[in-house]
Amino acid sequence: MDQEKILEILKDYKNKSNKDIISALDFLYDDFNKTKDLIIKLTVHLDSTEFSHNKLLEEINNRIK
């Protein structure tokens, strides 16, 4: 299901069939979980990058002193 179809269902959900609504729910559920997983992976990556940066920055600052 594409984004345009989802938007169409959301705009007029009162007049859409149960099949359309269930399809939209399935799509949104999957999209939500994929987005959530990506955010978690990106957060872990960002934390790791920050840790590595801070470790190297601390070392270079110690060497410069």
Digit-coded pLDDT (tens) for 35-63? 999 999 999 999 999 999 999 999 999 99
pTM: 0.78
Domain count, the chain: 1
Does the pLDDT value for residue 26 go beyond 90? yes
Torsion of CA 32, 38, 41, 42, to 10 degrees: -120
Mean pLDDT of 10-23: 97
Q: Which domain does 31 fall in, by range? A: 3-64
CA distance 42 to 49: 10
Share of the chain above pLDDT 70, in %: 100
